[in-house]
Amino acid sequence: MAEKRTKMSWHYYAMALGVLLGLMAATLSAWGAMVSGFAFAILCHPVLPFKGLTRGAFLLAFAILYVFAFPDPEVVRSMMNT
């Protein structure tokens, strides 16, 4: 019995990366970064009708928002010390 297997593409790796980014942001309670990471994962789903430049623009926007959504390093150090 040969089952039809789903072809692995970049979509699934990018979705896993987005979830990982969201979970890492959750460890610091960086809610904006967590939302950006999960939005990155959702936008990478292959069923969504976003294609080409539109998808790339949104993914780039969420990646930039993710980077700048974290608190200052001093705040992170004080959170880790407590």
> Which of 32, 34, 54, 33 lies closest to 43 in space, CA to CA?
54
Rounded CA-CA distance 11/2 in Å is 24
Instruction: For residue 1, name the pLDDT band (cuts at 50, 70, 90).
Output: low
pLDDT tens per residue, range 39-77: 999 998 888 887 889 888 999 999 999 999 988 888 888
pTM, 2 dp = 0.78
DSSP state of 44: T
Rg (CA), the chain: 16
The residues spanned by each domain of the chain are 11-81
24: Cα separation from own chain's centroid = 10
The Cβ of residue 39 has, within 10 Å, a number of other Cβ atoms equal to 18
Q: Please tell me the distance from the alpha carbon of residue 22 to that of residue 37, in angstroms, as a whole number.
A: 4
